[in-house]
Each structure stands twice: as C-alpha cells, then as structure tokens.
Amino acid sequence: MKIAVVGTGYVGLVAGACFAENGNEVVCVDKDPAKIRLLQRGKIPIYEPGLEELVRRNRAEKRLTFTTQLARGVRQAQIVFIAVGTPTGEDGSADLKHVLDVARETARAMNGYTVIVNKSTVPVGTAAQVRDVIRRETTHPFSVVSNPEFLKQGAAIEDFMKPDRVVIGAEDPRAADMMKELYAPFTRTGAPVMLMDCPSAELCKYAANAMLATRISFMNEVANVCEAVGADVDQVRRAVAADRRIGPSFLFPGVGYGGSCFPKDVKAMLRFAADKHYAFEILEAVEAVNARQKLRLLKKLEGHFGALKGRRIAIWGLAFKPRTDDMREAPAIPLIQGLLEAGAAVQAYDPEAAKVAKSIFGSQITYADTSYAALTGADALVIVTEWNEFREPDFGRMRKLMRSPVIFDGRNLYNPEQIRAQGFTYSSIGRP
C-alpha cells in the first residue's frame, strides 16, 4: 500500500519504518526541515533500539522517504496517518491543535478517496472533530479511522511488529477492510484485530495506560507500607503476582512513573471525564501518589544526612526508563531539583539521556562520562533508572571512589544483605 505518516516523532517514525519494513511505500512528513534533513541522511532524532537500522535499510530500498511537503505525501497515499503530538494543556486536556491542523491540510491536498487515521493519542470524540474539519475542506470521499498505538519505549519495534492486539475504530466497512489488509502481516501469529466504533477505540489507549499507572502507584503504596511495618515488598509482590487474576506485570515498586504517555494520558482521562461531570477518583489518587513517590528518595536522603547543603550526590539514571533518552516527566527531574534547592552538588550519569538533561539543567549539575566517574567524592549514590549496566557493578571500586559508601536504590537492584556485607549503607524501596 501507499502510506503517508504525518509527524516523525516517536510514534510516527516507528510506524512509518515498520510499515515500510513490510513492503509498503511510506512517505513520512514533518514540518521541521532540520529533522527531515537528519532523517534523509539516515540519522534519527530519538534513541530507540533498532530504529536507526530499520530506517536506513528501508531508505536504501526506497520504500521509506521523508519530506516537509505534506501535499506530496497525501496525494500519493491511500492511507494517511496523523501521528503528531497532543501536548497537555494547562487544564490537563490534550491539545488537538496539531491534529486538526493536519486534518485540514490533508483535506486540501486529497485528490481521491483517502483513509485518514488518527494514530496520535487523542480523547474521545476526536474522530468526529477530524471528520467535521475534513468535510469543510473537500468534496472528495474519505473515511476517518481511530488506530491507537500501544508501544513501549525501548521495545517499540518489537511491539509494532508483533503486537498484542490491533485496535481499529471504523464505521466505514471499506476503510476497515483496508486497515485489516495493512495489518495482516503483523497479526499472522494470532494477535487479534479488534474492530469497534471510533469512541471505543479512542478510549482504549487511555484505559490501558491508566490501568498500568494504577498498578504502579498501588505497588508503590504497598512498598511504603512495607517500610512502615517492617515487611519486605519483594516477598509481598511475588505472592500477589502468583494470583492468576493479577499476574506479575507492572508490580515492581520504584520512584514513580514518567515518560510521554502515562502522565499525559492520566491527566487527559481525568480532564475528559470531568468535562462529562464524572470525578474519576481512583485516577486522582494515582496521580497524587505518583507525584509523592518521585520525592521518596529525596526524603530518604534528608532522613539520613539531615541538611543536604554541601553534600555531593551521585545519580545513576536520568531517563524515565532504560533503553530510551526520554526525560519527559522523569523521576530524576524533581529529585535533582530538590537536591539543588537544598544546596547539594549533583553529578549524574545516564548512557543515553545526558544531552536531554543538559537542555533541562544546563550547567547546574555535572555530567559524568561513565557510571564510576559520577561516584568520585560522592557522599551518596542514588539509583533512579534500572539500566542493565548498573545491575552488577564493581562494588569494591565504587567504595574507593565514594567519600562515604551510601546507596539509595530507587529500583531495588541489589540484595540488601549482600551489599551491606560489602560495607555499604543501603536503603531501597519497601524492603527492611
């Protein structure tokens, strides 16, 4: 098929590259000339394992091209995916300006029947708004489809190529058939293609992310109770996860969720529920718990040292999760802000997110080239992101580099008894 993907952010670029990998002719459109020039050279503006190789291969085989000219992409496409950002507005709602602008420009460029697909995460009712915008701009026949993405950063290629499910919101049988044909190669192993109305499809992404965020916040609350009563959250978590009704996913305690999806989608779901005069009280609690949890390690540091002024704190991990450079809503941000406000010096290391961190903190903190370099003269190490390279470090070398052997582990990477036997003072989340 001939496809246009408008927006070369995380979702659009992954979708475009994966569609091209299955033999489709894909044009990716973006209004940022610098980003398009970068992509035309085979470079990508984000870190996602496997994506750069996929882009280069499909560019070389001329199945994947990049342009700033939206009309060019639309006129040769049977299906146009809208994959632009929907940032959170001041009231918590998703800002649809970019989505509706693309819909308007797409309508003006169409030259025949076209399927316009909302791939961006959008609130319920967006498909109807897009349909109204397009009708005002063209007499050509078209269909609007909702096709939410369910990608995990760090595993996006795998998730797209081998999805758990494909959700398609479509009222037009012709459009539904085209979408099923497009996704057929991705679902050969039995993943269901779920056809439904557009409002239901639009709600699916929000409901899934809200459920996952709820599990995370719930387990963080359990961990905090464990600390209060002297229980071990690892033992509790394993027992809970053994219940087949619950399972083990998203039950690891930590320092709160972040990234581009969970915080934004929870806020948006709260907003559009409130617009319909419904108070989503569980999600209100999830959001409040998450905000508190991001400061959990700061409170532990203050409890150990008292005043933090003049202390040198090493931080391992800046991205909100491993295998990405994304720091949107990352727990490291409020932690570092709190440390700086308390007068502490921060020296941080992350394998991929240092460049992003510099755009946030500038010269307020020190950026180490290696995990060990971050430890030099440190009064404490704080582990925020569970990168694999942090799992089995040289503890003897660490102890020699640090001013005092103190570790606050926000991801429960180490065995408490073993690390204390190495001479460290060690505090984790929800464990004695």
Overall average pLDDT of the 417-423 stretch: 95
Model confidence, pTM: 0.91
Q: Which helix (H) or strand (E) covers residue 25, if one does?
A: strand 25-29
CA Rg value for the chain: 24
Q: Is 42 left (phi over 0), alpha (psi -120 to 50) or beta?
A: left
Q: Which helix (H) or strand (E) covers residue 364, if one does?
A: none
Rounded CA-CA distance 70/56 in Å is 22
28 has catalytic annotation:
no
Q: Where in the chain is the domain with CATH 3.40.50.720?
A: 2-196, 294-427
Quickly state the pLDDT bin for 94 (edges 50, 70, 90): confident
Tokens for 47, please give them: 């870190």
- Please return the burial class of 206, using the count of CB atoms within 10 Å of its CB with bins 0-12, 13-18 and 19+: buried
Task: Identify the architecture of domain 2-196 in CATH.
Answer: 3-Layer(aba) Sandwich (3.40)
Q: Which tens digits make up the pLDDT trace of 7-62?
A: 999 999 999 999 999 999 999 999 999 999 999 988 898 899 999 999 999 999 99
Q: Is the model's pLDDT at 251 over the cut of 90?
A: yes
Give whole-number Cα distances, 135 to 104, 130, 139, in Å. Answer: 9, 9, 7
CB-based contacts of 72: which residues, under 8 Å, 6+ apart?
27, 29
Class for the domain spanning 294-427: alpha beta
Above pLDDT 70, what percent of the chain?
Answer: 100
Contact at 8 Å (CB) between 373 and 354?
Answer: no
Catalytic residue among 28, 198, 226, 261: 261
Instruction: Select from 389, 408, 405, 386 the least CA-distant residue to 397.
Output: 405
Rounded CA-CA distance 13/230 in Å is 47
Give whole-number Cα distances, 62 to 21, 160, 205, 294, in Å. Answer: 11, 21, 32, 45
The pLDDT value recorded for residue 214 is: 98
